[in-house]
Amino acid sequence: MAKQVIKVPDLGGADQVDVIEIAVAVGDTVAEEDALIVVEGDKASMDVPAPVAGKILSISVKEGDKVSEGDVIGEMETEAGGEVAEEVAQEAAPAPAEAPAPAPVVEAAPAPAPAGEETEEELKVPDLGGADAVDVIEISVAAGDSVEEGDALIVVEGDKASMDVPSSASGTIVSLSVKEGDKVSTGDVIGLIKTVSGGAAPAPVSGAAAPAPAAAPAPAPQAPAAAHEPSAPPKRDPHVERDHTPSAEVYAGPAVRKLARELGVTLNKVKPTGPRNRVTKDDLHAYIKEQVKKAESGAAGGVGGGIGIAPMPEIDFSQFGPVTTEPMSKIHKITAANMSRNWLNVPHVTQFDDADITELEDFRKAMKAEAEKRGVKLTPVPFLLKAAAAALREVPSFNVSLHNDGEHIVKKDYVHIGMAVDTPKGLMVPVIRDVDKKGLYDLAEEATALAIAARDGKLKPRDMQGACFTISSLGAIGGSGFTPIVNAPEVGILGVSKLSVRPEWNGKEFVPRKMLPLALSYDHRAVNGGDAGRFLTYLAGVLADVRRLLL
Ligand code: CAO
């Protein structure tokens, strides 16, 4: 048994790469080539494999650290002698000066074009660090795209690493010769790029792979793809099949990792569908879509879990006393979803006022007998409907809906008003059409019929559609005020509470008056406070003197 110091091997010229994953723990037994850590540079991520089999004694790096070639990763207990760490460095290090230089892809370079002249040149796969026939797993550009030198063209993947293949020049992509799923090797043509010459020859892709002028000296021996840190896996044969566990749990290319970081997604939560359980960009998009959907349904009807909203904890209420759990009615569930949606989407403001309905009540009582003869119950509700209709005509900015495109307002030239009805199955809001054109008796009759239909469960969907505004009257039940929730896409709702007789100052003395508490909630995106003030003042004025309806 010997203790071995494990060091970061040659990173293909890359320096200060991020440790994005620690794939082992102290005490783990690993086979030679098992991933110890995963590092990521600007263009590629790669596993750093164990140089020998053994047991992890210590780990000197952690996620987020930056490492370079030769940095100590940790220590291993191995069967072998003490030379292993050195061997790794030898094996992975750049070829010594006297060693044969890596065979460069030498091609005749185009003669330097005069400044400003457009030329087309081939984009080729650079030195892949000995890898051959690697998979094209992503095409990052399309014909017509403008790219800068160094921008990723495609992402390729071998057995041990994935890497971006960067553009060797700045220009416009003319065509692509590869597609996802193809296999490419060093020197294969990726496509054509149109460049505008500044008078100098295009920059080489890399010392080893870029076309070099025929007359130019052979590039100095160096690690593969040094210009594209760390685009090549270590020289240790990266194509030997080996177990990726546990790093395989999050197996993704650098572009996907980058996107995941930008979106704040933890990659191991994403279901991989790519080859060898690779997380693809599509997987990431599917995950985000799913999360958004979840968040929306949480916001719409669930009990929390919307974007940025902590979900409600699950509580076992039986620990506090006896409970029974019953299913919610369909109406209750729909109401809950709508309320959440409206509460979260609509910036609410609620304005309050009291309408002096002393005279209205006198008139209503005076007309009660006549109404009954007609088979109609004259409550305050028909008066409220009529007054709201008049206010909607008077202040038309309340008779609108916000268009879904966020850029238009839909103005309505009809006045349909919803009336909240409390039913044993839940809240229902039937709609009375053309309220502005109907008389009080008709409204009273229709309101009663709709309330009965709602309580009997006989409303049809159409009976509950098309309202411009809603009235929610809790007057018969009680309470001195409440803040109703706007029933979007309407932009206003009137909450009516129980009238009370109060001493009001008439300029000379306090006199008893019947005051009706009103609360007007409105969507502040559609309606401004001034209009809301005018609307409620006008409505209260109509209720205070119903003769105004005649004007
Ligand atoms: N103050 C004092 N008394 C009032 C009143 C008020 N604001 N509004 C109504 N009343 C009186 C009525 O005059 C009637 O008394 P009389 O029989 O002596 O005339 C009594 O209360 C009962 O009225 P009603 O309920 O039969 O009829 P209505 O027209 O007042 O209301 C309806 C109809 C459908 C609006 C009502 O029955 C209802 O369901 N209200 C609940 C609405 C609701 O749930 N809103 C909350 C929505 S958000 O959760």
Query: How many CA atoms, within 13 angstroms, populate the side-chain half-sphere of residue 6?
Result: 27
**Is ligand 1 within 6 A of the CB of residue 430?**
no
Encode the chain (551 residues) as per-residue pLDDT tens digits: 788 889 988 887 778 888 887 888 888 888 888 888 888 777 677 788 888 888 999 889 888 889 988 899 999 998 754 444 433 333 333 333 333 333 333 333 344 555 677 888 999 998 887 778 888 887 888 888 888 888 888 888 777 677 788 888 899 999 989 988 889 998 899 999 999 876 443 333 333 333 333 333 333 333 333 333 333 333 333 333 333 333 345 777 767 777 887 788 888 888 888 766 778 888 888 998 888 777 666 544 455 555 677 888 889 999 999 999 999 988 899 999 999 999 999 999 999 999 999 999 999 999 999 999 999 999 999 999 999 999 999 999 999 999 989 899 999 999 999 999 999 989 999 999 999 999 999 999 999 999 999 999 999 999 999 999 999 999 999 999 999 999 999 999 999 999 999 999 999 999 999 999 999 999 999 999 999 999 999 999 999 999 998 88
- Looking from the CA of residue 496, the nearest atom of ligand 1 is 7
Report yes or no on 486 lying in a domain: yes
Q: Across 445-543, where does the E strand assignment appear?
A: 469-473, 492-496, 500-505, 510-523
| Shared-domain flag, residues 455 and 395 | yes
Report yes or no on 461 lying in a domain: yes
Rounded distance from Cα 478 to ligand 1 centre (Å): 9
Report yes or no on 531 lying in a domain: yes
Residues 6+ apart with CB under 8 A from 367: 378
What CATH number is given to the structural domain containing 147?
Answer: 2.40.50.100
| Shared-domain flag, residues 496 and 445 | yes
| Shared-domain flag, residues 159 and 80 | no
| Shared-domain flag, residues 144 and 71 | no
Report yes or no on 500 lying in a domain: yes
Rounded distance from Cα 429 to ligand 1 centre (Å): 14
Which residue's C-alpha comes closest to atom 25 of ligand 1? 476
**Is ligand 1 within 6 A of the CB of residue 472?**
yes
- Best residue for ligand 1 mutational test, from 354, 379, 431, 443 (most atoms within 8 Å of Cβ): 379
**Is ligand 1 within 6 A of the CB of residue 489?**
no
- Looking from the CA of residue 485, the nearest atom of ligand 1 is 48
Question: 524 an active-site residue?
Answer: yes
Q: What is the pLDDT of residue 300?
A: 47
Residues 6+ apart with CB under 8 A from 328: 336
**Is ligand 1 within 6 A of the CB of residue 499?**
yes
Instruction: Show the tokens assigned to 495.
Output: 């909450």
| Shared-domain flag, residues 482 and 382 | yes
CA nearest neighbour of 16 among 70, 64, 73, 66? 66
Which residue's C-alpha comes closest to atom 6 of ligand 1? 475
**Is ligand 1 within 6 A of the CB of residue 428?**
no
| Contact between 246 and 254 (Cβ < 8 Å) | no
| Shared-domain flag, residues 541 and 451 | yes
Report yes or no on 318 lying in a domain: no
**Is ligand 1 within 6 A of the CB of residue 517?**
no
| Shared-domain flag, residues 397 and 521 | yes
Token look-up 């009238």 returns: 499
Burial class of residue 541 in the structure, from the number of CB atoms within 10 Å of its CB (0-12 exposed, 13-18 middle, 19+ buried)? middle
Q: What is the pLDDT of residue 49?
A: 85
Question: Which three-class secondary structure string do you get for 493-515?
Answer: EEEECCCEEEEEECCCCEEEEEE
Report yes or no on 236 lying in a domain: yes
**Is ligand 1 within 6 A of the CB of residue 420?**
yes
Give the end of a domain, one of 244, 272, 288: 244
Rounded distance from Cα 477 to ligand 1 centre (Å): 7
CA nearest neighbour of 278 among 151, 176, 155, 133? 155
- Looking from the CA of residue 419, the nearest atom of ligand 1 is 35
**Is ligand 1 within 6 A of the CB of residue 143?**
no
**Is ligand 1 within 6 A of the CB of residue 46?**
no
| Amino acid code (one letter) for 264 | G
Give the end of a domain, one of 52, 87, 122: 87
Considering 239, 348, 403, 524, which one is annotated as catalytic?
A: 524
Range of the domain at 389: 347-550
| Shared-domain flag, residues 58 and 155 | no
Residue 244's alpha-carbon distances to 194, 387, 420, in angstroms, are 40, 73, 61
**Is ligand 1 within 6 A of the CB of residue 137?**
no
Q: ∠154-158-163 over CA atoms, to 5°?
A: 40
What CATH number is given to the structural domain containing 437?
Answer: 3.30.559.10
| Shared-domain flag, residues 18 and 77 | yes
* Main-chain dihedrals φ then ψ at residue 395, nearest 5 degrees: -120, 80
Q: How many domains does the chain have?
A: 3
Residues 6+ apart with CB under 8 A from 143: 173, 174, 175, 176, 191
| Shared-domain flag, residues 17 and 162 | no
- Looking from the CA of residue 381, the nearest atom of ligand 1 is 29
Give the end of a domain, one of 211, 244, 277: 244
Which residue's C-alpha comes closest to atom 16 of ligand 1? 379
Report yes or no on 208 lying in a domain: no
CA nearest neighbour of 355 among 272, 239, 471, 439? 471
| Shared-domain flag, residues 78 and 145 | no
Report yes or no on 327 lying in a domain: no
| Shared-domain flag, residues 488 and 546 | yes
Rounded distance from Cα 445 to ligand 1 centre (Å): 14
Which residue's C-alpha comes closest to atom 8 of ligand 1? 475
